[in-house]
A and B are shown apart, each in its own frame.
Chain A
Amino acid sequence: MSGPATPRDAGPLTGGAAGHDGAAVAAAGAAAPRPHADRRPMRPAVALLRKDLLLERRSPEAIPAMLLFSVTTFVLFHFGLGRDTVSGQLAAGVLTVTILFAAILGINRLFVSEQEEGGFDGVLLAPIDRTALFVAKAAALFSFLALVEVATVAAFALLLLGPSPWPALPGLILILALLDGALALVGTLVSALAIRTRARDLIVPIVALPLLVPALIAAARGAAPLLAAGGAGSIPTKWLAMLALYDLVFGLLAYAVFDFLLED
């Protein structure tokens, strides 16, 4: 697309250039830029994030679905594995795989409101960087996942986990935070990739699951010693490093390519 006047070209006008004629069009799409907006580049992202959290609070959609899905999956694992309690690698696997599949639900819904209610147009018309939308969506998905996990981990400890969850908790929080980062970054990218395809619900899982294999390996292997039957061991550093590297690589990659998903 080589049209000379894409919204992108009109987009980077910051508040300081609000007097230009392009800004009149741009300002119609979203909140008018403040004169000092350029000094706070995160401002649009925070506004978009607040919008998403408000939407989810007013009409809860993703969080209850993910929560119910996780608890149901634990019940399924109980019958599927034929075990009353799990520990060690099995426990870590059940927990991380359940979180991964639950995240797919959230990833599927992530951009639906933007697509159906014209949120993309608003962001494209507004004089803000498009990365702000990525940051906001990834942060929203991260917070959804974190909220869901508070309840999911409690349900897991109650329903399936053999050893006591308390000694494992600090390490588990660290691993799940890094895993949530991976899920949020990759999930936002894949969701934006799939939202305007015909087979959105099919594309998200088949693309996201293979992409998330390294993160799942690191999280499941890293959490295994924490949930071991004999008491919580320590996390091998290599798995934390692997998760952090994964987050870093896909964070940078998303920063580089996300703009190309939002051009029309």
Chain B
Amino acid sequence: MRGLPTVLITVSPEASAQMGPPRAIYPVGFQIGHVLGGPGQADLQRQVLRDALERLITPGEPGTIEERVYPQYVPPPPAPS
């Protein structure tokens, strides 16, 4: 096995950290099911993906989950009680 460079986009950084991902970004505040943003937020999704791809070519400590902030993220409304 020769190995492949990987980058993880996670919205569960605590759980992901336990597995020691070699490269990872965490879009802060993104909900599960919205890994790259909400539905129809194509520009945001593209930006998150760009940032993940950028991490592939940026030197950094393996195993570090790097936070990214996207003010344009629209979280889903809370479920009705």
**A and B: interacting chains:** no
Q: Which B residues lie at the A interface, using CB under 8 A?
A: none
Q: Which A residues are closer than 8 A to B by beta carbons?
A: none
